[in-house]
Structure 1
C-alpha cells in the first residue's frame, strides 16, 4: 500500500510529488498518458505571473505570489528553464487607464513588489517596438517566463530519483473508499493508498465524481497560440499583455524561455476536453490583436500553432479541498495562474495532509538537484553532423542538439517513446525545419537505443504537422 497516490502528472501533481519526496513516504503518481506534462501543463503560455491580476483574498492571489517567489530556487535546483523578464499591461485609450490602476491596487494588496504605472514615453523606453497607440502601462518587475513542459519533466525526474513511483498509461476507472484508505481501479491494476490527491486537471471533476463528489464541473477553455522564429525575439524584452477582459488576461506577446516569439492565447469555451485543434479564423484574430501591441510582428516567420485547454470550474476561485472525502484532497479548476502557483499549491496540499493525519519525517538523503539535459553551446563548440563523437554529433541542426543529449534524456527514469517526447526534453525538432531534417535521425537513434524496429518509433503526430501547416497559411495573411 502507498502512503499517498497522486492522480495527474502535470505541473500541480508533479510539484506535489517532488515536495513530498523530501519525506519518508511511499508515493505513486498515476498518469493516463504515455508521458508527463501531456495536458494543461504542456499547452500554456509558460508565464510566471507577477500576482497583480487576481482579487485579493482569493486562493489564486495568495498562491500566485508565493509560487512566484519559489521559482528562482527551483531553477537553481532543477535547471528547467526560467528567467525573470518583467511584464507590461498596456492601455490604448484613456478608458483603459483606470483598469491599470485597479490592477496596481490588487498587486499592492497582494504584496507584489516592483509595480509601477508608466506613461507612454517611459513604456517605450523599455519596449521600443510597441505600438505608438500605447497610452500607459502597468509594469511588474517580478514576472517571468519558464519552459512549462521542461519544468514538469524536471520535477518528475527529480521525484523519481527520490523514490517516487511514476505509473504512466494508468487511467483511473474507479475509486473505492476503504477503512484503510482507497482502492483505485486503473486500466492496468488496482492501487491501494492511504491518502489520495486528485490533481487531474481537466478531468479533476470526473475523478472527484468517482469518489462520490458530483457538484464539481470543469468546462474547458481553449487557448490557441502561434510560435514564431527566434529572429522575431528582438521585438519584445518583457511579457506584453493588454488590459484583461472577462474572458481572461487576453492576447500576449512574449519570448519563450528558449527565445522564440509567441503570441496568444484567445479564450473559447468548448465542450470536448481533448479538442486542441486550431483554426485559421482564430489565428487571424490572435495575429491582428497581437499586432495592436507590437505592429512589426512578421507572420511569415511563424513556425507552428498549437492550442491548450484550461480547466475552468463552476466556482469563482480554485477548489483545494480536503474535507469532502476523508483522506482525499481535490484540486479542481486550477487554471491560470496555475503554473506560477504550482510550487505553493504543493505546500498547501502538504499542510492539508498533515491536518488529515499524515505524519512526516524528513529524509536525510533527499537529492535536491537535477542536472540539465540541454547543454548550452559556446562559441567554441565544434559539433558537426555525423560526427563519431556523441558529444559532437549534431542530430538537430536548428537547435544544435547532440546525440549525447538525446541519449541522456532516455535514461532519467521516464520512458521516452517518440520524437515529440525527445523534443520536449531537448528541443530537437523544435527549430525552423520542424523535424523535416532531424525527425528521421531522431527515430533512428531511438530505435537503436531502445532496441526497437524503427517503424515502432512514432515521428511527430499528424496533428502537429497539420497545426504547423495552419500556422504557415496564417503567416501569408495580413503581413
Structure 2
C-alpha cells in the first residue's frame, strides 16, 4: 500500500512529489501520458511572476509571492534553468496609469519591496526598443524566466532519486473508497493508497467526480504563442506586459530562458479539452498586439507557433484543500501564476497532509541535488559534427547539443523513447532548422541506446500534442 498517490505529473504534481520525497513515505505518481510535462507544463510562458501579479487575499496572491522567492534555491539544487529578468507592465494613457497604480498598491499589500513606477528616460534605459508611445510602467525586479518543462523534469527526477515511483501511461479509470484507504483503478493495474493528491490539471474535476465530489468545474482556456529565433533576443531585456484585462495578463513580450524571442498568449475558452490548435487569425492578433510593446521584431524569423490549455476553475482561484472525502486532496484550477506558485503549493499540500493525520518524518538521507542535462557551451567548447568524442560530437548544430547530452537524457530515471522527449531535455530540434538536420541522428541514438529498431522511435509518443503545420508558419512569416 502507498501512503500517497499523486495523480498528474505536471509541474504541480512534480513539485508535490519532490517535497514529499523528503519524508519516510511510500509515494507514487500516476501520469496518463508517456512522459512528464506533456500538458500545460510544457506549453506556457515560463514566467516566474512577481508577487503583485495576483489579487491580495486570494490563494493565487499568497502562493505566487512565496513561490517566486523559492526559485533561486531550487535552481541551485536542481539545475533546470532559471534567471531573474525583471518585468515592466506598460501603460499608454491615464487609464493605464490608474491600473498600474492599482497593481503597485496590490503588490505593496502582498509585501513586495521590489516595485517602482517609472517613466521617461528610465524606461528607455531599461528597454531601448520599447514603443515610444509608452508613458509609464510598473517595474518589478523579482520577475524571472524559467524553462517550465525542464523544471518539471528536474523535480520528478529528483523525486525518483529519493524513492518516489513514477508510473507513465497509467490513466486513472476509477477510484474506489474503502475504510481508511482507496483503490485506484488504472488502465494497467489496481493500486492501494491511504491518501490521494488530485493534481490532474485539465482532468482534475473528472478525477474529483470519481470519489463523489462535484464542488468545482474546470474551464479549459487556450493560449497561443509565436516563438522566434535567438537573433532577436536583443530586442527585449525584461518581460514586458501590457496592463491586464478581465481575460488575463494579456500579450507579453519576452525572451525564453534559452534566449528565444517569444510573444503571446491570448486567452480563449475552448470546448475540447485537448484542442491545442493554433489559428492564423488569432496569431495575427497576438503579433499586432505585441507590436504595441516592441514594434520592430521580424516575424520572418518565426520558428514555430504553439498553444497550451490552462486549467481554469469556475471558482476563480486555486483549489487546494482536503475535500469532503477524507484523505482526498484537490489541487485544482492551477492556472496562472501556477508555475510560479508550484513550489509553494507543494509546501501547502504537505501541511494539509500533516493536519489530516499523515505522519511526516524527515529522511536522514534526502538528496536535494540533481545534475543538469544541458551543458552550457562557452568559448572553450570546440565540438564538431561526427567527432569521435561523444562529449564533443555535435548532433544538433543549431543548439550545439552533443551526443553525450542525448545519451545522458536517455539513461536518466524517467524512461523516454521519443524525439520530443529528447527535445524537452536537451533542446535538440529546437533551433532554426527545427530538427531537419538532427532528428534522424537523434532517432539513431535512441534506437541504439535502447536496443530497439529505429521505426519504433516515435516523435511524440502517445501524447495528444498536434504536429506543426508548416503552411501556417509560412503565413505567419509573411505578416507585416
Partners in 2 of 1:455 and 1:62 — Cα distance?
A: 49
| 1:244-283 deviation line (CA, Å, top 9, x unaligned) | 0000000000000000001000000011110001010011
Q: Give the conservation status (yes or no) of the 8 Å contact 1:303–1:472.
A: no
1:41 aligns with 41
Instruction: After TM superposition, give the deviation of residue 177 of structure 1 in Å.
Output: 0.9
User: How do residues 282-361 of structure 1 correspond to structure 2 at under 5 angstroms?
Assistant: 282-361=282-361
Partners in 2 of 1:433 and 1:48 — Cα distance?
A: 29
Instruction: After TM superposition, give the deviation of residue 57 of structure 1 in Å.
Output: 1.0
2:100 aligns with 100
2:17 aligns with 17
**Which SS does the other structure have where 1:471 is aligned?**
helix
| 1:309-352 deviation line (CA, Å, top 9, x unaligned) | 00111102111110411001001211000000000000000000
2:30 aligns with 30
1:466 paired to 2:464? no
**Which SS does the other structure have where 1:274 is aligned?**
coil
Q: Give the conservation status (yes or no) of the 8 Å contact 1:305–1:468.
A: no
1:434 paired to 2:422? no
Q: Give the conservation status (yes or no) of the 8 Å contact 1:12–1:339.
A: yes
Partners in 1 of 2:400 and 2:325 — Cα distance?
A: 50
Instruction: After TM superposition, give the deviation of residue 466 of structure 1 in Å.
Output: 2.8
1:74 aligns with 74
Partners in 2 of 1:44 and 1:28 — Cα distance?
A: 26
User: How do residues 105-116 of structure 1 correspond to structure 2 at under 5 angstroms?
Assistant: 105-116=105-116
**Which SS does the other structure have where 2:53 is aligned?**
coil
User: How do residues 19-418 of structure 1 correspond to structure 2 at under 5 angstroms?
Assistant: 19-418=19-418
| 1:380-427 deviation line (CA, Å, top 9, x unaligned) | 212111111111111001000000000000111111111100000000
**Which SS does the other structure have where 2:370 is aligned?**
coil
Partners in 1 of 2:20 and 2:389 — Cα distance?
A: 40
Q: Give the conservation status (yes or no) of the 8 Å contact 1:384–1:393.
A: yes
Q: Give the conservation status (yes or no) of the 8 Å contact 1:113–1:142.
A: no
| 1:150-183 deviation line (CA, Å, top 9, x unaligned) | 0000001000000100000000010111113110
Instruction: After TM superposition, give the deviation of residue 464 of structure 1 in Å.
Output: 5.5
Q: Give the conservation status (yes or no) of the 8 Å contact 2:421–2:460.
A: no
**Which SS does the other structure have where 2:343 is aligned?**
helix
Q: Runs of 4 or more off by more than 3 Å in structure 1?
A: 459-465
Instruction: After TM superposition, give the deviation of residue 215 of structure 1 in Å.
Output: 3.0
2:451 aligns with 451
**Which SS does the other structure have where 2:183 is aligned?**
strand
Instruction: After TM superposition, give the deviation of residue 303 of structure 1 in Å.
Output: 0.1
Partners in 2 of 1:302 and 1:465 — Cα distance?
A: 16
1:8 aligns with 8
Q: Give the conservation status (yes or no) of the 8 Å contact 1:113–1:141.
A: no
| 1:217-255 deviation line (CA, Å, top 9, x unaligned) | 111000000110000000000000000000000000000
5+ residue gaps, structure 1: none
Instruction: After TM superposition, give the deviation of residue 469 of structure 1 in Å.
Output: 4.2
| 1:37-72 deviation line (CA, Å, top 9, x unaligned) | 011111110000002122111100000000000000
Q: Give the conservation status (yes or no) of the 8 Å contact 1:306–1:467.
A: no
Q: Give the conservation status (yes or no) of the 8 Å contact 2:36–2:153.
A: yes
* TM-score after normalising by structure 2: 0.98
Q: Give the conservation status (yes or no) of the 8 Å contact 2:96–2:243.
A: yes
What RMSD, in angstroms, separates the aligned Cα atoms of the two structures?
Answer: 1.2
1:475 aligns with 477
5+ residue gaps, structure 2: none
Q: Give the conservation status (yes or no) of the 8 Å contact 2:196–2:329.
A: yes
